[in-house]
Amino acid sequence: MDDGVKLQEAAWAARDAVRPDPQVEAIVRARHGDPFSFLGMHAEGGGDLVVRAMLPGASAVTVVDAASGAAVGEGERVHPDGLFVARLAGRRDWFRYRLRVNWGHAEQEFDDAYRFPPVLGDLDLHLLVEGTHLDSYKRLGAHVTAHDGVDGVAFAVWAPNAQRVSVVGEFSAWDGRRLAMRRRHAGGFWEIFVPGIAAGEVYKYEVVDPNGTLLPLKADPYAAQAEHPPRTASVVAPPDGFAWQDGEWMARRAQANDRAAPIAIYEVHLGSWRRDLAAGGRYLSYRELAEQLVPYVADLGFTHIEIMPVTEYPFDGSWGYQPVSLFAPTSRYGTPDDFRFFVEACHRAGIGVWLDWVPGHFPSDPHGLARFDGTALYEHADPRQGLHRDWGTLIYNYGRREVANFLLSSALCWIREFHIDGLRVDAVASMLYLDYSRQDGDWIPNMYGGRENLEAIAFLRRMNEVVFGEGSGATTIAEESTAWPMVSRPVYVGGLGFGFKWNMGWMHDTLGYMARDPIHRMYHHNDLTFGLLYAFHENFILPLSHDEVVYGKRSLIGKMAGDEWQRFANLRAYFAFMWTHPGKKLLFMGGEFGQEREWDHDIGLDWQLLGQPFHAGLYRLIRDLNRLYREVPALYQRDSEGDGFSWIDANNGAESVISYFRRGADAEAVAVTVCNFTPVPRLGYRIGVPYPGRYRERINTDAADYGGSGIGNFGAVVAEPEPMHGHRYSLCLQLPPLAAVVLTVER
């Protein structure tokens, strides 16, 4: 070999001697795709064990035998950024060890996260990738556990396109180089067990995207608890040890949710129902709401509370409809166990709890689901499919198995872990239509060229099958504003499978009617009666929701026509019409006492109004309507059946009077309602009835106790054998102005 060749080889050898080890560089730069293959305990080429640890900021590291407490090796700093290697000469058999670390100012001894085996089992991974792991909330996220005999927290997250994922928190000095996670399976699930930490730890995920770019820190999609906004980190929740005491309710909740049951729902935004004025207007806690809201609703006679979303959300102004964590009750009002306490208090008072649940979209906040691993993971990449133009939010990719599984698991989590009795699914119409609120050219047709979102339809059907398949008695409710057929019909007959659907058409028509001056109502009589043409196509709920009392729409009492007396009379008559109309009832908080101003999520309701006669009278009417509703099966048993309703006279538009009766399982036990929507008393007004006997006046909205003029029927009317409206008998009534009377037959 000539001298030139020798010199070249020597140069190459010298270069190789100082060339950085690529694995070391990847570890210290936190770009290693498989840190468990390098960090922790491994056998070197000669068979002796070596322990590697990445501990930025440490000045010395000692490996300690966990059994004996003896030091068995000193770490050598092999990189100035904090990579230590301890060679354990003569040790070839794996053993449990700990790390004793000198930080310069303090010494600490702890178990090395890189000595523990995987957390997720093969079956878990198989089901997660398949999209059929309906208990995924028990495996992904953060869970306090004992692993290999050591207490700590197991973290797991889905980020299939990430180069690296680390869990960060105070326990790692928020340094992503410390606890880089193990990638499991090609499906992209990352996990790590962190020993020695416990519930209450605040954490996020540090993610490096496919291009090597470090993303903003991400909250845990499966977090069971979160920091109080505006802070955005996730919190390790304690194990569920809540001792439920609502067994009696749970045994009968299927009956309470049945379409043949009386269901009157009080819709509430927990943050603005009432504030603690003595403490500067702060929120009431879940436990305070259990003490104050629950007895209030029970006294009013509502059967259910529907809570606007409490799935954790960053922006108060979204009212919860832009959630970032679909598994965590918002920390605004307390802990997950505090929320359980509230639900249990409702159940012990005989009140069901329905929760607004939002699987239709999510916000683009950088700490949330948006481009979670640097790619369009939970959302569609194409904005024509993945961006809500109206709300600036992102749309879930329902066709992706893992995303659908994430949403299904959330639904079951609330039903199983928090005993929620019903999920009211928000904005279903926006899920069903690919062109929802989009211009031509701004949406992508389905495979058949149509506008129906086939993947969302399949998801909703599967969601309803899963919820009802639980057999727990929980139900689902669709806020669906179009004429999509069979929303509340079973999947096996081609329906979407919901238990109930909001009747938005009835609400818009009838509120529009009530806003008109009575002199013009005769020309719009159809607004009162049209809803009966389709009232039995679905299992309907009649909603007077929060959406109708914001953004310039005015409060319910503010929508009514006339002077103050007339407005309250109109609203009382409208409530009686609603409570006796086919369909379950929903009333947003404040409507029960005539809240004058629009709802404002930043302040509590105007409770001082209950001290004024008209407002107090309205409150008493709602309480009496709910009592009557629960006492009279004819008003609820056949809400969804055409045989449960009959017009007496639907055609008296000239006088703006309608009359009808309701039937329950006992067809002869009828309830009769007559509404006069003009300020003119109708004395001696005759209507036909099918049966003889005494008809007791159960509700008269013009009663003086409610703030009315006191015109009535002295408590009862006896049917006379004078044919009318196709019936053999008739009643001669005194109809008060702007009022409704409700009578039941006594035979």
3-state secondary structure 451-482: CECHHHHHHHHHHHHHHHHCCCCCEEEECCCC
Report how far residue 499's alpha carbon sits from residue 259's, in angstroms, rounded to the nearest whole number.
8
Report how far residue 228's alpha carbon sits from residue 246's, in angstroms, rounded to the nearest whole number.
28
Report how far residue 504's alpha carbon sits from residue 543's, in angstroms, rounded to the nearest whole number.
7
Tell me the three-class secondary structure of 253-315, residue by residue: HHHHCCCCCCCEEEEECHHHHCEEHHHCCEECCHHHHHHHHHHHHHHHCCCEEEECCCECCCC
The whole-model pTM stands at 0.94
pLDDT of residue 483: 92
Residues with Cβ within 8 Å of 16's Cβ and at least 6 positions away in sequence, in order, are: none
Tokens linked to 681 = 């008393």
Domain boundaries 122-235, corresponding CATH code: 2.60.40.10
Residue 6, pLDDT > 60, answer no
Report how far residue 672's alpha carbon sits from residue 740's, in angstroms, rounded to the nearest whole number.
10
Report how far residue 641's alpha carbon sits from residue 537's, in angstroms, rounded to the nearest whole number.
9
Range 20-115: architecture per CATH? Sandwich (2.60)
Question: Could you give the 3-state DSSP secondary structure of residue 41?
Answer: strand
Instruction: Look at the chain and count its residues.
Output: 747
Per-residue pLDDT averaged across 566-579, rounded? 98
Under the banding of pLDDT at 50, 70 and 90, the label for residue 22 is confident
pLDDT of residue 91: 86
Report how far residue 244's alpha carbon sits from residue 339's, in angstroms, rounded to the nearest whole number.
12
563 is an active site residue:
no
Tally Cβ neighbours within 10 Å of residue 382.
11
Tally Cβ neighbours within 10 Å of residue 134.
18
Report how far residue 477's alpha carbon sits from residue 488's, in angstroms, rounded to the nearest whole number.
8
Instruction: Please answer whether residues 303 and 262 qualify as being in contact, where contact means their C-beta atoms are separated by less than 8 angstroms.
Output: yes
Q: Which amino acid is at 164?
A: R
Task: Provide the residue ranges of all domains of the chain, joining segments of one domain with +.
Answer: 20-115, 122-235, 247-502, 505-632+642-746
Q: Which amino acid is at 210?
A: P
Between residues 695 and 12, which one has the greater pLDDT? 695
Per-residue pLDDT averaged across 179-185, rounded? 93
109 is an active site residue:
no
Residue 14, pLDDT > 50, answer no
Q: Which of 112, 479, 649, 702 is catalytic?
A: 479
What are the phi and psi torsion angles at 690 (to 5°)?
-80, -15
Sign of the CA dihedral with 557 first, then 559, 563, and 565 last: negative
Q: Which amino acid is at 180?
A: A
Per-residue pLDDT averaged across 203-213, rounded? 96
Tokens linked to 391 = 């709300």
Q: Where are the beta strands (DSSP E) in 36-140?
A: 40-43, 49-54, 60-65, 71-74, 76-79, 83-88, 97-102, 107-111
Per-residue pLDDT averaged across 648-675, rounded? 95
Paired with 542 in beta bridges are: 585
Instruction: Please answer whether residues 421 and 255 qualify as being in contact, where contact means their C-beta atoms are separated by less than 8 angstroms.
Output: no
Sign of the CA dihedral with 251 first, then 252, 258, and 263 last: negative
Q: Which helix (H) or strand (E) holds 204?
A: strand 202-208
pLDDT of residue 338: 97
Instruction: Please answer whether residues 421 and 254 qualify as being in contact, where contact means their C-beta atoms are separated by less than 8 angstroms.
Output: no
Tally Cβ neighbours within 10 Å of residue 1.
6
Q: Which of 206, 426, 455, 548 is catalytic?
A: 426
Among the four given CATH numbers 3.40.50.300, 3.40.50.1580, 3.30.930.10, 3.20.20.80, the one describing domain 247-502: 3.20.20.80
Report how far residue 700's alpha carbon sits from residue 717's, in angstroms, rounded to the nearest whole number.
13
Report how far residue 344's alpha carbon sits from residue 428's, in angstroms, rounded to the nearest whole number.
29
pLDDT over 70, % of the chain: 97
Report how far residue 282's alpha carbon sits from residue 276's, in angstroms, rounded to the nearest whole number.
5
Q: Which helix (H) or strand (E) holds 431?
A: helix 428-432
Class of domain 505-632+642-746: mainly beta
Residue 540, pLDDT > 60, answer yes
Residue 745, pLDDT > 60, answer yes
Tokens linked to 423 = 């999920």
| Residue (of 142, 137, 237) closest to 194 by Cα position | 142
Under the banding of pLDDT at 50, 70 and 90, the label for residue 569 is very high
pLDDT of residue 16: 47
Tell me the three-class secondary structure of 147-161, residue by residue: ECCEEEEEEEEECCC
Instruction: Please answer whether residues 739 and 572 qualify as being in contact, where contact means their C-beta atoms are separated by less than 8 angstroms.
Output: yes
| Residue (of 510, 742, 528, 561) closest to 655 by Cα position | 528
Report how far residue 134's alpha carbon sits from residue 327's, in angstroms, rounded to the nearest whole number.
13
What are the phi and psi torsion angles at 433 (to 5°)?
-115, 125
pLDDT of residue 3: 58
Report how far residue 599's alpha carbon sits from residue 595's, in angstroms, rounded to the nearest whole number.
8
Q: Which amino acid is at 67?
A: A
Report how far residue 668's alpha carbon sits from residue 648's, in angstroms, rounded to the nearest whole number.
15
| Residue (of 471, 499, 473) closest to 487 by Cα position | 499
Report how far residue 302's alpha carbon sits from residue 287's, in angstroms, rounded to the nearest whole number.
20
pLDDT over 90, % of the chain: 92
Q: Are strands 540-544 and 500-502 parallel, antiparallel or unpaired?
A: parallel
**247-502 has the same fold as 122-235:** no
Per-residue pLDDT averaged across 138-159, rounded? 96
Residue 8, pLDDT > 80, answer no
pLDDT of residue 439: 92
Residue 5, pLDDT > 60, answer no
pLDDT of residue 105: 86
Between residues 12 and 734, which one has the greater pLDDT? 734
Under the banding of pLDDT at 50, 70 and 90, the label for residue 172 is very high
Between residues 350 and 32, which one has the greater pLDDT? 350
pLDDT of residue 9: 53
Please provide the average confidence, as pLDDT, over all residues in the chain.
Answer: 94
pLDDT of residue 11: 46
Tokens linked to 300 = 């009013």
Tokens linked to 35 = 């840190």
Instruction: Please answer whether residues 160 and 373 qualify as being in contact, where contact means their C-beta atoms are separated by less than 8 angstroms.
Output: yes
